[in-house]
A and B are shown apart, each in its own frame.
Chain A
Amino acid sequence: MKRRIVPALLLSALALSALPGRADAQFSGELRAREDRSSREMFIFEFSVGTYTPRVQTVGGTSAIEAVFDGDQGPMLHLEVDIAPFRIPYVGLLGAGVALGWSRYSAPLCANDSCTQQLDEEANLRLWPVSPQAVLRVDTLAREFNIPFVFTGKLGMDIVFYTASGGTEGSGSSVGFRWALQAALELDFIDRQRANVLDDEFGINHTTLFFELYGSNANSTLDLGTDIAWAAGLGMTF
């Protein structure tokens, strides 16, 4: 009896799993048609989280972040909106945008240079990088070969505002250049039907998970740039 039940259950499961497959097949023609008339991509929105350690050094030549904040690495939060009015055929989108960041570093204040005694108050450093930049988003693989990877390069300015409290207080900003390279995985392949609904209903063409490496030499006053930092997050084109 048991021998008959198991194959029967397996066959039932196969039959059930085939049903939605057939529905997908019926839908695919319409899907392709819809894809062809998907709305124009013009804006890119990104939210990311990562680490950031400014290069700024102490009088003794060691990392100030290490010395004062015990190597605190942030985190750094970023919001970015880009406008991409140009599409280069077979390459991707070209445009410009602004990234806004926020990061906070804190640790108990040291009583002396060697930090042999910690005080009962906090030392704080807050950074607000504002980065206007040019963006080239290469989506050839995703658009031409259905491979869901998109690569983005960014180049622009980095204006890092800062405020420091605990001990002597200070605030100001530092300016420099900034670069970034990003690899993104388009999530449309998970459910193309829903991806198309997102486009139809909200104008969101693609959603992505991305990883970005970036650097900055914002050092016009304090050296608040970094050789290399990373961020990971969620992106949308619409």
Chain B
Amino acid sequence: MNRSTQIILLASFAAAAVSPVHAQTIAASVAEYRGGDGTRTTNEDIARGMNIADCEDPDAEIVLSLDMNPGQVDIWHSNGQSVDCINAENARSANAEMRTCIHLTNLAVGADRQVVIPVSTLAAGDEANGNGNDVCANRNRTTYRLFLLDTDAIADSGMIASWGAVDVVLDSQSPGVPSVENATLAGTNVPVEWDPAEDGVDAVTNMRGRVEIFTDGCGMTDVEGAPKETVRTNLGETSYTVDLAALEVGDGGQVGVRIATEDQAGNIGDFSSEVCVTRVTGQGFCDVVEGGCPEGCSAGGVNPKNTAVFAFLVLAFVVSRRKQ
């Protein structure tokens, strides 16, 4: 090896030693959200993200799962913007006033390759400049990209040996007040319908209704401790049928109903005005026909749907044998 070759090799090693390695080698994902509405681990829960209850819970945490254990990770985030906190100029500047990304903290990775980030840390923002301290203040379904940097515990300006990124969704804005069409309704099985008051981000199909039924009558919604039943409707539903017979409300009896909208992340908005539902037994088909609807009938106990399906199966069998 001649002298010039040695010089080139040395120069190459030196360059490699001082250059940051920008290859993403850590694969990370959200394993669970703890706090607020409890521990949530399903894919749907993760996609729904964190909500106001998480922000208000001082013990709430985000648990990230890594595919390797670098010992410690320095955590940054993009403050809800599409900023590359690895390569962008000034993204992680040592000059706190210059940086565009938010530096959170340096955390140890557990033996189970998990990192536990307190939501309070995320909510506090960058200690050095106060940026990003509003993530829990009225952000409507914002995605925060968390960058996990293996920098040998040297914060801010450490050399990056490897890094990973994971998206965390945070919705700290409640939906509006749903509107109801009628202030009074009457019947026995009475559908109460509402307009779910979209919050501009969540599709109606991802929202639910929270229905409170005050069984002691109308005008009880403001009474502390008034007996009530709470129902959480299925996703996307904008009506709920109040069964007054099941609630053991007699003829002429009343219940008060009010509805709040729950958004995709589980934030619950304010309740609607009260709908007063009165039990009135109506005159249906079986009430007016001569002799009523006889029990049992000539083919009593036979389910018409099953009969139809059976008949179709027989026909399908016959047709499948056609012209043989």
Residues in chain A within 8 A of chain B (CB atoms): 39-40, 42-43, 56-59, 64, 67-69, 81, 83, 98, 100, 109-113, 115, 117, 119-121, 123-125, 128, 130, 159, 161-175, 203, 220-222, 238
Contacts and interface: CB of A to CB of B under 8 A. Distances in A.
Contact of A68 (B182, B284, B305): B284
Interface of B: 182, 185-191, 280-300, 302, 304-305, 307-308, 311-312, 314-315, 318-319, 322-323
A125 B187 contact: no
Nearest to B186: A119
B70 to A, nearest CB: 63
A39 B323 contact: yes
A35 B202 CA distance: 61
Contacts of A120: 182, 185-187, 190-191
B190 A128 contact: no
21 contacts: A68-B288, A81-B319, A100-B311, A112-B283, A113-B283, A117-B186, A119-B187, A120-B186, A120-B190, A121-B188, A121-B189, A128-B308, A130-B311, A165-B284, A168-B284, A168-B286, A170-B286, A170-B293, A170-B294, A170-B295, A172-B296
A112 to B, nearest CB: 6
A167 B294 contact: no
Given A83-B318, A98-B315, A221-B298, A109 B293 contact: no
B322 A111 contact: no
A173 B282 contact: no
Judged by DSSP, the binding face of A is strand
A165 B286 CA distance: 8
A130 B293 contact: no
Nearest to A126: B304
Closest 7 CB pairs of A and B: A167-B284, A172-B297, A170-B293, A161-B304, A109-B282, A121-B187, A119-B187
Nearest to A39: B323
Given A98-B311, A128-B305, A174-B297, A119 B292 contact: no
A56 B305 CA distance: 22
Nearest to B188: A121
Given A58-B289, A170-B294, A172-B294, 8 more contacts: A59-B289, A109-B283, A111-B280, A128-B305, A159-B299, A166-B285, A171-B297, A172-B300
Nearest to B193: A120
A203 B323 CA distance: 10
A101 to B, nearest CB: 9
Contacts of B293: 162, 164, 168, 170-172, 222
B295 A167 contact: no
Nearest to A61: B290
Contacts of B308: 100, 128, 130
Contacts of A42: 322-323
Contacts of B295: 170, 172
A172 to B, nearest CB: 3
